[in-house]
Structures are given as structure tokens and as C-alpha cells.
Amino acid sequence: MSKQEYKELEQLYTDASHWSINAGDETIHAKRIAGRFRSYKWYASSLWLLFFITPYFRWEGQQAILFDIPHRQFHFWSLTIWPQDVWMLSLVLILLAITLFAVTAIAGRVWCGYFCFQTVWTDWFTWLENRIEGNPIQRRKLDAAPWTARKIRLKLTKHSLWLIISILTGVTFTAYFTDAYQLWVDYLSLQAALIAWIVLASFIFFTYVFAGFMREQVCFWLCPYARIQSVMVDKDTELPTYDLARGEPRGKVHRNASTEQKGDCIDCRLCVGVCPTGVDIREGMQEGCITCGMCIDACDSIMDKVKRPRGLIRYASRKELNGQPLPAVFKRPRVITYGIILFLSTAGIIYGLTHIPPVELSVVHERQPLFTQMSDGSIQNKYTIKAVNKTTQALKFHLRVTGLDGVDVRMPDGDIITLQAEGTIPFHVFLRVKASQLKKKKTKIRFILESFDTIDKMKLKKRSVFIGPAQ
Ligand code: SF4
Ligand code: SF4
């Protein structure tokens, strides 16, 4: 190894010695301070209150949002999604994923910092911890202190409140799958179904452990999104960034000492102290940063105190820091691509929602045998018809077949089909025709279901074939 190579390697080791990986060895007690981004975080997390109250909304006599697994239906206000319409779910998932990608490309892990249930629940848990056990210094002291009546009281209060939030989270989640009011009755009278208890127990456990103990470690080691987000950001992405050129060389401010040679960073480490994931943003962008902006609030408060301009840590892109012009958001190829996919999936969902047929029909031609030659010489084909009534009223239909002259339609229960509200019926239909009527082996036909007894007449058509012997 040459002297130069050795020097480079030595430099590499020196640089690497500054890196620190938060492996969860000690609990991070982040300081909470007021500021712009702290307020944004509260506003964003308050949206999660909707999660807790939505299951209790009623609409047209039933739960407004309900995943009715036994009946394989999803109720969303006056809309009912059936398994046949589940293709829309894939579009919704694409829409959510692309929204996440687009937001990450523009402003980094905004989802993680402000909306993710893991960081939001952790924030609520640590807020309670702060109220009960005091600020980070007091909390560390309490953790290290021997067990006294005061310590037991404080810890008991904190863990009880954490458990209450975990229980509420579990009950609320389960309430999206069954009648929310009845669920409370079932839980309180210990009559709930086994699966309801399993879901509740799992949610209590994971909420309590993830938000109370593992906290940022979930983001570091368990969350797949944290792993892939680096491929979504580029030089134009605005992220909480330390302005190296302005801040360095950092150093403490001493009274009467000259500050001419120093940068604006006074090395107070408040930005590190408020970081919920224990990141020192001054070391550059790191995997642990969830772009919550708490370090921006912290540094701005310090800049105000030392009478220097705010923004030593600010949302900025790499291009911006290098003095390059920033392209308009809508001119970035990545954002344009995400925008197109977003538009298409939104259009698909709107189309799907406005075109959900109230009744669906499927016709399957019997394969074994393809046809039957009857004793009078006529040819018979058998079909299995499945009709799904997605409306909330019973519907009556006539069935007729076109495309084959002289066809005789035979159904076991007469020619009127009654579809119960939100019901599915499969039934068999036999078509019989004189052999002389058949011009070819395969004749294209059409089944037509026409409603009667309802104000809005419905007509459903389905193509099929009638098969006979080779001509
Ligand atoms: S470095 Fe700043 S923006 Fe990133 S997680 Fe820490 S406090 Fe939030
Ligand atoms: S809060 Fe600002 S001044 Fe204090 S250490 Fe961080 S970057 Fe430097």
C-alpha cells in the first residue's frame, strides 16, 4: 500500500469514527420545544382522531365505513364495494403508493415525520411521558434512580395511560370490521368472538411495545419504507438540511471572544437534543432522519437568541445549497411521471365508482357434455347463471335469449328470477332447439335479463354460445 493510499484509508477511518448508528442501546429522550414544525406535526397527527371516531358514524341505517368480511362487502357511506369491484382496490393502492412516492420526491419523508401511525403514536406516548415524568434530564434521572413510591407512581401512571391508548387503538381497528357499538357491548360483556380478542390483543401488544419502547427503532430496523425512500429522493428534493457553508467552523460562543473566524453554528447541540431519532443533522442526511423538522425549530430558536438569521437548518435541496437554480416542481420528470400515474389511477377510481353496476350477471356454458341430443331429436345445452344483486331491494327479472330462432328456455323455477337484496343466486338454465334450426356447430347467443316491478328498468346482457353437433 502506498503512503498516499494509507493516508486516504486513515482519513476514511477518521471520518467514519464520527458516524454513529442508533442501535437502540439507550432510550432517546428528545426535548420538546414549540415551533412552526411542531405545530404542523400536531395538526397532522390530529387527523388521526378521525380514525377513532369514524367507526361510530352511521349512514342509511348502517355503519358508514365497514369491512364486512363475512358478507364479502365493503361499505363506504352509500357505496357498497363487492368482490367483483375489487379491481378498484388495486387502483386505490397504486394511488396511495404513488402519492407517497410523489410527496417523498418533493419533500422527503413527510409521511414518516407527520402522518405515519408509528411516529404519531410515539409522539403521543412521549408527550404523555414528558407530562408525567418531566423533561429529558428529569426522565433520565428518574430512570437511573432507585425504585421509590414516587417512581412507582409515575411509571404506573404513564404505563396505564399508554395501555389505555393501546386498547382504544385495538378496539377502534376491530370496529372497522364489525358493528362498532355492538363490539363494545361484546368486549365489555366478554362475549366477543375469538378473532376479535386476537385482533385486540395483537393491537394492544404492538401499539404498546412499538410506540412505548421500540419507538424510532421500528423506523430504523422494521419499516420497509425507510429502506426504499433513498431511491425516491434526488438533488431537487427539499429536506431538512444543515447549511454547512454557513454553519462551519462551528464553535461555542464566548463572551467578548471574536466570532469572526467562526460559522453560525454555536455547537449548542439543541438540534440533536430535540431529534426523535437521535440524528445529528450536521453530519449530513442520514437514514434515521424522518424529516420532521424539529431540528429546524430548535436551531431557529437558537439563531433568534444569538441574533443571527434563521434557516441554518432548513428545508433545502442539494441543488439549492450548491447555489444552482431549482426547477419548478411540475417540471421535474420524476414528479411528472408520478403525476401522470396519479391522474390515471384517480380517473380509474372515479370511473369505477360511477359505473358500478347494481346487478352483475355471469353465464358459464356447461362443458361436460357440450350438448345433449334429446329423444325427440332436439339439442339441449346447459348453462350456469350467477346473478348478484348489489342493491338494497329485492329485484325481479325475466330471462330471454336472442340469436337462436325457436329456442326454448327452461328454468327449474319458471321464467321469473327473484334476486333478494344484496344477494347472489346461481341457477341452471337449459336451452333446447330443434336440430334443423342449427346452421352451424357454434351459434352465438345472448342472455338478456330484464327487470320489472322497479322504477328504474334494468337490462343486463351476456354473450354466450349454443353448441350442437358438427353440420
Ligand atoms: S434530523 Fe431533524 S428532521 Fe431529521 S428526524 Fe431529526 S429532528 Fe427530524
Ligand atoms: S441547533 Fe443550530 S446552532 Fe445549535 S448545534 Fe444545532 S445547528 Fe448548531
| Domain residue ranges in the chain | 23-231, 239-325, 359-467
Please give the number of the atom of ligand 2 that sits closest to the Cα of 306. Answer: 3
Q: Are strands 408-410 and 424-433 parallel, antiparallel or unpaired?
A: antiparallel
Please give the number of the atom of ligand 2 that sits closest to the Cα of 264. Answer: 3
Give the Å distance between the CA of 76 and the centre of ligand 1. 37
Return phi, psi of residue 443, to 5°.
-115, 130
Determine the distance from the C-alpha atom of residue 21 to the mean position of all C-alpha atoms in its chain, rounded to a whole number.
Answer: 28
What pLDDT, on a 0 to 100 scale, did the predictor assign at position 23?
A: 61
Q: How many CA atoms lie within 13 A of 54 on its CB side?
A: 18
Give the number of the ligand closest to the Cα of residue 285: 1
Give the number of the ligand closest to the Cα of residue 313: 2
Pocket-forming residues, ligand 2, beta carbon under 6 Å = 242, 247, 250, 265-271, 282, 298-299, 302, 312-313
Please give the number of the atom of ligand 2 that sits closest to the Cα of 270. Answer: 1
Give the Å distance between the CA of 290 and the centre of ligand 1. 6
Give the Å distance between the CA of 320 and the centre of ligand 2. 20
Protein residue with least CA distance to atom 6, ligand 2: 271
What pLDDT, on a 0 to 100 scale, did the predictor assign at position 196?
A: 96
Give the number of the ligand closest to the Cα of residue 252: 2
Q: What is the spatial distance between Cα 152 and Cα 155, in angstroms, rounded to a whole number?
A: 5
Give the Å distance between the CA of 40 and the centre of ligand 1. 14
Give the Å distance between the CA of 31 and the centre of ligand 1. 12
Q: Cis (ω within 30 of 0) for the bond into 136?
A: no
CB of 275 closer than 6 A to ligand 1?
A: yes
Give the number of the ligand closest to the Cα of residue 270: 2
Q: What is the spatial distance between Cα 27 and Cα 30, in angstroms, rounded to a whole number?
A: 9
359-467 belongs to which homologous superfamily? Immunoglobulins (2.60.40.10)
Give the number of the ligand closest to the Cα of residue 315: 1
Q: Which of 111, 119, 243, 291 to mutate to test the pocket of ligand 1 (most atoms within 8 A of CB)?
A: 291
**8 A C-beta contact, residue 276 and residue 99:** no
Query: HEC states along 32-52?
Result: CCCCHHHHHHHHHHHCCHHHH
Give the Å distance between the CA of 271 and the centre of ligand 1. 8
CB of 289 closer than 6 A to ligand 1?
A: yes
As given in the structure block, the three cell numbers for residue 300 are: 431557529
CB of 295 closer than 6 A to ligand 1?
A: yes
Return phi, psi of residue 463, to 5°.
-80, 150
What pLDDT, on a 0 to 100 scale, did the predictor assign at position 17?
A: 44
Q: What is the spatial distance between Cα 408 and Cα 434, in angstroms, rounded to a whole number?
A: 9
Protein residue with least CA distance to atom 3, ligand 2: 265
As a 3-state breakdown, the chain gives helix, strand, coil percent values, each rounded to 5, of 45, 20, 35
**8 A C-beta contact, residue 328 and residue 144:** no
Give the Å distance between the CA of 38 and the centre of ligand 1. 12
- The stretches in the chain having pLDDT less than 70 are 1-25, 254-260, 454-455
Give the number of the ligand closest to the Cα of residue 249: 2
What pLDDT, on a 0 to 100 scale, did the predictor assign at position 347?
A: 93
Protein residue with least CA distance to atom 8, ligand 1: 292
What pLDDT, on a 0 to 100 scale, did the predictor assign at position 255?
A: 65
**8 A C-beta contact, residue 381 and residue 427:** no
Q: What is the spatial distance between Cα 134 and Cα 436, in angstroms, rounded to a whole number?
A: 94
**8 A C-beta contact, residue 300 and residue 271:** no
Q: Which of 31, 241, 266 to mutate to test the pocket of ligand 2 (most atoms within 8 A of CB)?
A: 266
